[in-house]
Structures are given as C-alpha cells and as structure tokens.
Amino acid sequence: MDIFLQQIINGLVQGSIYALVALGYTMVYGIMGLINFAHGEVVMIGTLVTITVAGTLIKAGMPVALAGLAGIMAAVLVCMALGWALERVAYRPLRNAPRLTPLITAIGMSIVLQNVAMIVWGRNYLTFPSLLPKVNFEWAGAHFTAIQLIIVLVSAATMGGLLLLVYRTKLGMAMRATAQNPAVASLMGVNINRVIAAAFVIGSALGAVAGVMVGTYYEIAHYQMGFMLGLKAFTAAVLGGIGNLAGAMLGGILLGIIEALGAGYIGDLTGGFLGSHYQDIFAFVVLIVVLMFKPSGLFGEKTGDRA
Amino acid sequence: MKFEHFFRSTVGIGLTAVLLLALPFIAALGGQAWVRILDFAILYVFLALGLNIVVGLAGLLDLGYIAFYAVGAYTWALLASPHFGLHWPIWAILPLGAGLACFAGVVLGSPTLKLRGDYLAIVTLGFGEIVRIFMNNLNAPVNITNGPQGITLIDPVSFGAFKFSGTTQIFGFALSGPQKYYFLLVALAILVIIINIRLQNSRIGRAWQAIREDEIAAKAIGINTRNLKLLAFAMGASFGGVAGGIFSAMQGFVSPESFSLIESIMILAMVVLGGMGHIPGVILGAVLLTVLPEVLRYGVGPVQMAIFGKMLVDPESLRMLIFGLALVLVMRFKPAGLWPSPERKRELTEAKP
Amino acid sequence: MSEVLLEAKAVAKHFGGVKALRDVSLSIRRGEIYGLIGPNGAGKTTFFNCMTGLYVPDGGGFVFDGQPLVADAPHQAAERGIARTFQNIRLFGNMTALENVMVGRHVRTKAGVFGAMLLNSATRAEEAAIRQRAIDLLHYVRIEERADDLAKNLSYGDQRRLEIARALATEPKLLCLDEPAAGMNATETEELRDLIDGIRRDGTTILLIEHDVKLVMGLCDRVAVLDYGALVIEDVPAVVQKDQRVIEAYLGA
C-alpha cells in the first residue's frame, strides 16, 4: 500500500511538470494547429539558463533564495523571448504553407536549439544548484520532500493563473475566439498575430517554470533533456484532448501517475520479465489505447466531420 | 513533366545509366568511406520513397517509420548472425523481415488510422519509441536483442557463393564490398521508383490522392478509406522492413542507437524537403540529407581551422546546427520542398494572398 | 423487382437536444425525380447524410433496393448504388477534372496494388476502360474541354457538373443532388434542369434537394416537404403546391 501511495505522489510531481509543458503545446496547437516540436527545447533552455544565472550568483555570494529567484526570472524572460522569436522568425512566414512544412521547421528549430545549447553549455551533464532546503515529510507511510510539495503547489498556482488569464481577460477571450475560428475572430477586430505571439510567449513562460522544476527535482540537466520531456508532454496534451487547457493539465497529471505506477508495478505484473526501465513505454501505450477508444483524447471535443 | 520526358528519352536513360555505373568508382577516389556514404544515400532514397507512399501519396503523417526499418534490421540480425547461431539465406529473411514489418504496420495502423492526422503522427512516434526501448532492454532476463550493445558479426548479403562483403574481381575490375552493395541498392531503388510511379498512376494511387484531398468526398464515392490507408501504411512498412534487412547486412552490426526518433524525422524531412509526393524531389531530398551532413562532417573542422586557426566550436554540433538551419531555411523559402511536383507548386503560388 | 427503390422508415436524428429529424418516412420509386424541399434547417441535408452513411440515425433506417442500408458506412452506400453531390461542392481540388471522374470509377473497378505494380494486361485494360468511361462522362455533362484542368480552377457551374459526372461514374441507381442549383443564374439553372432530366431519362432515379421551388416543382414527379425535421407532405407537385401547411412553412406563418 505505501508503494502505491508513494508512486501516486511521485507521479503527481512528475505529472505537474508534464502538465505545465503540455499547456505550451496545447495552446499553440489550439490556436494554430501546429505541433511546436521545439517546445521541449525551450524548456531545456529554461533549465540551463537557471543553472548559469543562479549558479553564478550563488558563487558570487548572493543568498541562495535570491539567486534562485533571479535564475527563475532570467529563465522565464529568456524563454519568453525565445518563444516570441520562434513564432516570429520560423512559423509566421509559414501560415499558408502546406501542413507538413511548419512541422519540419519545428523539427529544424529543435535541432538548432539543441546544438546551440550544446555549444553554449557543453555536452556534459550539468549540476543544478540546490535552491531549496532538503526537508523530508512522511505521511501514511509515504515520503515526500519539500521540493516535491513546492513543485505541485507552484504548478497548480501557475495553471490557475493561466485559466484566469484565458477566461477572465480580453487577451484570453481573443485567444479563445481565434482558436474557434481565426478568420471570424480577425473580422471581429482580434489581432491574430498578437494572439498567436501571446500563445507562444505564455507557453514558453510556463515551459521555463517547468524547466526550473525539472532541474530542481532531478538536480541535473543536459542539452538533450528537452526532447523526451517534450514528447511526453505532447503525449499528455493529446491524451487530454489537444487544444483543451484543462485536458492538458489533467492529461499531464494522469500521465505522470500512470508512469509512476507502471514503473512501480511492471516487474510484478510481468513476473520480472520487464523491469522499470520500460517506464518510457507506458506513456505511449496508454496514449495508443486511449486514442483507440476516445479518438479525440479523454477531454477533447468530438470533432465530427461535416458534410 | 520535363524530368520524366528527359528520363524516358534514350539519351536520358543512357546518361543516367552511365552516371550511376561510374559513381561508385568516382567516389572510391576519395576513399571507400565515400562509397559507403553513397550506399547510405541510395539506401535512404529507398527508405524515403517507401515513406513517400505513406506520406506523399496517401497523406498520412508517419513519424515512426524507423520502427519498421528496425523490425527488418533486427529480423536479419537475429536470423543471420552468431547471436543465435542462425544463418538463414537472404530469400528467407528478407521476405520475412518485410512481412513482419508489414504485420507491425497493420497492427499499429488498424486501430489508429481513423484518427486525425496529428494524432496519428504522435501515435506512430510513440510506437517508434516503444520498439526502440524494447530493443534496448530485451537482453534480460532472456537475451533476445543483446540490449544496447547490439548484435555484431551479421552475415552479409550473399547469393550462393557470391558475397557482398570483401573485394571481388569481376571482368578485371576489383569491386569492393561497398561498391557491390551500391549496385544492389541501386537495383532496389530503381525497383521502388518504378513501384512509386506505377502506384501513383493507378486506381489505388488515385484513391489515395482523393483521400488526401477530401476524405468525406472520397467515402461518398465508395472509397473504403480505412482499408486504403491501412494498405499505404502496410506497404510503406514493408519497404522499411526490406531496407532494414539490407542495412543490417551491409553494416554487419545493429544496435538500438540506429533507430532513434531522429532517424524517423530525418526520413520524413527527406520526403518533405525534397517535395512531398514528387518522386524526383524525394530522391533529391534523400541524397541531399545524407550527403550534406557528411560533407559538413569533413568540411566543418578544416574550414574552422583555416579561418580561425583553431577549433572554436565542436564540429559535430556545428554540423547539426547547420543541418537544422538548412531545414528551417528551405521550408521558409521553398515551403513545398526543393523540387515540388508541378501541381503542388501551382497550389502554393495560388494560395498566397 | 419492387417499384420502390428507397424507403426511409421512421428515420430520427438528434444533435444534443435538437431534433433534426423526427421519424421521417418516405419512399422513392424507381425512375422518378423525387424532390425534397423545406426551409433552411428543416433537416434536408441531415436526412441526406443519414442515408449516405455519413451520420448514424438515432432511430429507424433505410431499405434500398430491397436490402437494408448499413448505417455508418458511406463507402458501402456508394457500392450499393447511392451516389451524391454536396451542397458546398466537394471536389478533389488538386486533381484534374478527368482524374476526379476516374476516381469515381473506383467502386466499380478492382485493380489492386499488385496489379498496379506489375502493370499486367488486365490492369492496363481496366485503366484504359476507366479513362474512356471518364471521358465519356465529361462529354455527357459537357465539360470535356476542361478535362485536364485542375478541378479547383473550374468555374462554379462546371464544378457542379463535374461533381455530377463523378457521382455518375459510380453507376448509381439513385443519384442524390444536394442543392445543385445553388448560386446558379437562370441560364445555368435551365441547363442543369436539362441535364438532370436527361440523367433520369437514361435510367437513373434522382433525389433532389433544392431551394429553388420553381425548379423542383417543374422537374420532380413527386415532392416531399420537411419542416422542423418532420415530414409535412409527400405528393405530386400540384398537390404539394396547394397544401396549406407547406405554404405556412415557407411563409413562416
């Protein structure tokens, strides 16, 4: 029983991170139907920027909390700028291009960002500075750390903020309108370019926050870390029903929990034939199974074909 | 159209044949490494044209194509190497590899092909990862794939006593292993080109095109869209399986590393970058994307040395950086690919406001 | 062979709370031109989509040519002999006019992948027959000179004709036209009228959904009126025209 609870907690933490990254995918997809493959790389850049900024400041003698905060701020700003630039330079010129063209561009950008990161930060694993005290809690036989608690709380707060933005502000309304029908929205005076740019910038900011969380949680970072993370997060977005904000959040958390439980129990389930290094397949197996029965994802609207 | 006219003319065919015959010998002047690069270019032409059936003709976005290649490669590796002590002949393994890849395609495709295009992309991508993870980990408790170390000493392609590895004397010519594989691969590539052209201009090809254009209208005139998509998917997978088998034999070694997602993406990039659905474009894309990174590999270091007098940037990452930028730039300035079919080109110029 | 070609039995369809079709029953006889009219949103296209398998009805069903129609299988409807056009023309825009009609032959031909790859004599013969038949059909709808143009570059009227040619290529027993005269001027409508009449004379039963009441009344043997998803009347045009309920439905009284 405590393994079960433990894995739920681990999954919730991992899932909160997936959810934040998934939001970046789902917002862009919802508004312009593009899989922004480079989003995982934005997250990676966020982590690495934090390492550089916070690490340098700590070395310079700044208090850890302050240095951490500065690192996070820097990461958010850099990622927002990066997201904006990605959209402006790479994707905007391709609005009318064939469907696969922006996808290849996204893949190209992903390769570019990875290699820029490798040139800047090197090909070795980097240690993430410990920004939070290592405090352990115990509850009902399961252990969790302050870091885990904070990740879940920050993630929840960020998502709450995003929902407020999307459902309570003028920009949010413009975003929702554009997602429904860009042509009509622009006739109604919505500046489509601004809305799309906003989706990229906001998504990248969330990605930066997620990047800091990943760094804090695993304490290491690497120029290739964004790819698998991005892939999983995109899976989470599809699982929840892509384009749907709440779906991305729930999909992310669900995916985190499924992975954690899967990794915890796969050995027992297969009589030791498959071990926990199969963790990565759960995401995809679950995705395939869900889409077989719910082709629009768990919380996606049914998009019926119209004659 | 001009391209096809040229290649159907006697002069065109003659020139192409001479060039194809001479290439491996010209490349050999720069060392056998270049012949091997040439081999890979042709292998990728084969792979890309297989994927072109799925993506270009039927319009299905397949991001896990490499998984089928892996199935073919491991089928050959397991059945023709000391790993299990099996040494099956080519006429048994190659069809089996193609068949298994085809079967995998049907198993994956039948539940997922009714999904919207982007969902299909992510499902196929996930499938590719699953296959790779299994190959990486199926070395314990029973050693099937030998895990990350991969399988070595794989049998080369051979027909009876004629082996494709090592040097052979033919008509006074010394043919190296890579040169022999070159001719085998060219033959296979010509075969897949013919198949692509014939499919494109057939009842099935038209139905695929119709599905790509408007699925509802295609259904309304009686096209069983699900079966036809499955057919495209399975065919593409079979070609992937064959290519995998040849790859395995040619390298003499396979490991899961060769089948990562980036490989799938690379092949898709070849198809799209060249000009989706347009055979000459796809060939161009495949050759370019195989040769360009190699040229960069050999060029980037020396150029840096010449300009700056020292290595400023790790050549490997600079090489990939340039490659990524090339993808972005080509898509920016030639959104339909470098050599699109005439129709698609028209489609785009008209779409511009 | 029964006189009735298609029979709808209490077909019902709702979208959420909206009842788009309320137990619609009607029957179409062989060889007739059957009109289906009604105000906007009366359920005409929904009826069409249920019949051709794009929608699954929530109640009732169809009997076509003596056999029930399987719901949710559009490609089988075509195979059984129901062809349709779309209200908002759906051609394969980047294929030529000729290719559009050639695809229409799909369901009546059988060359498979291996035939295509081997290009054996049977395949070649079939391919030639498909092409010839498609050319004939383009002649039939009088757009043969546009054969090699991309469908999307055809004029509006020619696109309508091409869509009809493509539908005819499936050798339908029942040809369903969804507002074919929409957006046409008087001359074009007149030509369309002749075309439809000609198709019927050549032996194909026609179901016509139309807004142009004049066209329907002049062309159809029998007419059914839908209003708010329910069948109001099914009779010859002369009777329908005088029916009080129909007048009310159209005037919105």
Between residues B314 and C125, the one the model is more confident about: C125
> Residue C80: what residue type?
R
Which residues from B are below 8 Å from C130, CB to CB?
203
CB contact under 8 A, B335 and A98: yes
- Distance (Å, rounded) from C-alpha C117 to C-alpha B317? 43
Chain A residues in contact with C54 by the CB 8 A cut-off are: 305, 307
CB spacing of C48 vs A305 below 8 angstroms: no
pLDDT at C1 over 80: no
User: What is the C-alpha separation between C135 and C152, in angstroms, rounded?
Assistant: 18
Q: What pTM, to 2 d.p., does this model score?
A: 0.84
Q: How far is B115 from chain A (nearest CA, A)?
A: 6
The alpha-carbon gap from C212 to the nearest alpha carbon of chain A, in Å, equals: 21
Mean pLDDT value across residues C83-91: 91
Cα B95 to Cα A210: distance, rounded to the nearest angstrom? 47
Q: Which residues of B touch A294 (CB under 8 A)?
A: none
Q: Is the pLDDT of residue B344 over 60?
A: no
Q: Using CB atoms and an 8 Å cut-off, which of residues 108-137 of chain C contact chain B? A: 109, 111-113, 115-117, 119, 123, 126-127, 130
Largest CA distance in chain B: 67
Q: Measure CA of the first residue to CA of the last residue in chain B; give whole Å.
A: 27
Query: Chain C closest CA to B60's CA: distance in Å?
Result: 17
| Identity of the residue numbered B298 | Y
Output the CA torsion A284→A285→A288→A293 (10° steps): -140
Q: Do B331 and A102 make contact, defined as CB atoms within 8 angstroms?
A: yes
Q: How far apart are CA B307 and CA B303, in angstroms?
A: 6
Q: Rounded to an integer, what distance in angstroms lies between the CA atom of residue A56 and that of residue A45?
A: 16
Using a CB-CB cut-off of 8 Å, the residues of chain C touching A307 are: 45, 48-49, 54, 86-87
Contact at CB, B221 and C115, closer than 8 angstroms? no
- Interchain CB distance below 8 Å, C106 and B225: no
- Give the rounded percent of residues in chain A with a pLDDT score beyond 70: 94
Residue A199 burial (C-beta neighbours within 10 Å; 0-12, 13-18, 19+) = buried
Q: Would you state the structure tokens that stand for residue A258, as one six-digit string?
A: 């499924």
- Looking at this protein, which amino acid is placed at residue A152? V
Contact B344/C94, CB-based, under 8 Å? yes
- Is pLDDT at B351 greater than 50 in this prediction? no
CA-nearest residue to B319 within chain A is A115
Q: What is the rounded CA–CA span in Å between residue B102 and residue B108?
A: 10
Which of B316, B317, B330, B348 is the mutation pick for testing A, counting most A CBs within 10 A? B317
Classify the C-alpha dihedral B331-B337-B338-B343 as positive or negative.
negative
pLDDT at A276: 65
A305 CB neighbours in chain C (<8 A) are 54
- Cβ pairs bridging A and C (under 8 Å): 7
Q: Under the phi-then-psi rule, with left for phi > 0, alpha for psi from -120 to 50, and beta for the rest, what region is C252?
A: left
C138: pLDDT confidence band, cut at 50, 70 and 90?
Answer: very high
Tell me the nearest-neighbour CA distance from B331 into chain C, angstroms.
Answer: 21
**Which of the other chains make 3 or more beta carbon contacts under 8 angstroms with chain A?**
B, C
With cut-offs at 50, 70 and 90, classify the pLDDT of residue B120: confident
Q: What would the pLDDT profile of C156-203 be if each residue is shown by its tens digit?
A: 889 999 999 999 999 999 999 998 988 888 888 889 999 999 999 998
Residue C12 CB contacts under 8 Å (≥ 6 apart), including other chains: C19, C21, C22, C23, C24, C57, C58, C59, C60
Question: Which pLDDT belongs to residue A56?
Answer: 92
Neighbours of C175 (CB within 10 A): 23
B235 phi, psi to nearest 5 deg = -65, -45
Whether residues B202 and C91 touch (CB distance < 8 A) is answered with no
Q: How confident is the model at residue C20 (pLDDT cuts 50, 70, 90)?
A: confident
Q: Is B60 on the interface with A (CB under 8 A)?
A: no
Could you tell me how many residues make up chain B? 353
The model's confidence at residue B142, banded by pLDDT at 50, 70 and 90, is confident
Asked if C23 is an interface residue toward chain B (Cβ–Cβ < 8 A), one would say no
What are residue B254's DSSP bridge partners? B151
Distance between CA atoms of residues C111 and C118, nearest Å: 11
Residue range B76-98: mean pLDDT, rounded = 83
**Cβ contact (<8 Å) for A90 and B332?**
yes
Which of A78-87, A179-188, B97-106 shows the lowest per-residue confidence on average (mean pLDDT)? A179-188
pLDDT score for A303 = 45
DSSP 8-state code for residue A128 = P
Highest mean pLDDT: which range of A264-268, B110-114, B232-236: B232-236
- CA atoms within a 13 Å half-sphere pointing along the CA-CB vector of B232: 30
Q: Is the pLDDT of residue B167 over 80?
A: no
**Chain A residues closer than 8 Å to C86 by CB:** 307
- What's residue B144's pLDDT? 78
Which chain B residues have a beta carbon less than 8 Å from that of A104? Answer: 268-269, 272-273, 327, 331
A247 interaction partners in chain B (CB closer than 8 Å): none
Q: How many angstroms away from the CA of C129 is the closest CA of chain A?
A: 31
Q: How far is CA B261 from the centre of its chain?
A: 13
The yes-or-no verdict on residue B193 having pLDDT over 80 is yes
- Interatomic CA distance for residues B125 and B79, integer angstroms: 27
Cβ distance of A94 and B130 shorter than 8 Å: no
- B53 contacts in C (CB within 8 Å)? none
Q: How many CA atoms lie within 13 A of A23 on its CB side?
A: 30
Q: What is the mean pLDDT of residues B19-23?
A: 81
Contacts of C87 in chain A (CB under 8 A): 307
Which whole number is the average pLDDT over C123-132? 91
Nearest chain A residue to C74 by CA distance is A307
Judge whether C86 is closer than 8 Å to chain A, CB to CB: yes
* Dist CA B57 CA B53 (whole Å): 5
- Chain C residue with Cα closest to A306: C54
Pair C61, C9: CB distance under 8 Å: yes
Q: How confident is the model at residue B43 (pLDDT cuts 50, 70, 90)?
A: very high
Chain B nearest C-alpha distance from C45 (Å): 14
Mean pLDDT of all residues belonging to chain B: 82
Rounded to whole angstroms, the Cα distance separating A255 from B87 reads 43
Please report how many Cα atoms fall inside a 13 Å half-sphere around the Cα of residue B245, on the Cβ side: 28
Report percent pLDDT > 70 for chain B.
Answer: 92
What average pLDDT score do residues A87-106 get?
Answer: 85
- pLDDT band with cut points at 50, 70 and 90 for residue A273: low
Which pLDDT band, with edges at 50, 70 and 90, does B352 fall under? very low
Q: How far apart (Å, rounded) are the C-alpha atoms in residues B32 and B23?
A: 12
| Most confident region among A78-82, A212-216, A297-301, B247-251 by mean pLDDT | A78-82
Assess whether pLDDT exceeds 60 at residue B273. Answer: yes
Give the residue-averaged pLDDT of A146-170. Answer: 90
Residue A304 scores a pLDDT above 50: no
Stated as kind and residue range, the H or E segment containing A81 is helix A64-85
State how far the Cα of C46 lies from the Cα of B164, in Å rounded to an integer.
Answer: 63
3-state secondary structure of A132: coil
Contacts of C65 (CB under 8 A, 6+ apart): C5, C6, C80, C81, C173
Number of H helices, E strands in chain A: 11, 4
All residues of chain B having their beta carbon less than 8 Å from the beta carbon of residue A277 are 133, 136-137
Between β-strands C230-235 and C222-227, what pairing exists: parallel, antiparallel or unpaired?
A: antiparallel
Q: Which DSSP symbol is given to B257?
A: G
- Find which of B60, B331, B343, B347 to mutate to test the A interface (most A CBs within 10 Å of its CB): B331
A268 vs A286: which has the higher pLDDT: A286
> Which chain A residue's Cα is nearest to C90?
A307
Q: Please, is A141 exposed, middle or buried when counting C-beta atoms within 10 Å of its C-beta (0-12, 13-18, 19+)?
A: exposed
Contacts of C90 in chain B (CB under 8 A): 214, 216-217, 220
Q: Is the pLDDT of residue A120 over 80?
A: yes
The 10s digit of each residue's pLDDT in B280-323 is: 889 998 988 888 878 877 777 777 777 777 666 777 777 788 87
Residue of higher predicted confidence among C253 and B188: B188
Distance from CA of B206 to the nearest CA of C (A): 6
Q: CA dist A130 to A4, A125, A156, A213, Å?
A: 28, 15, 22, 11
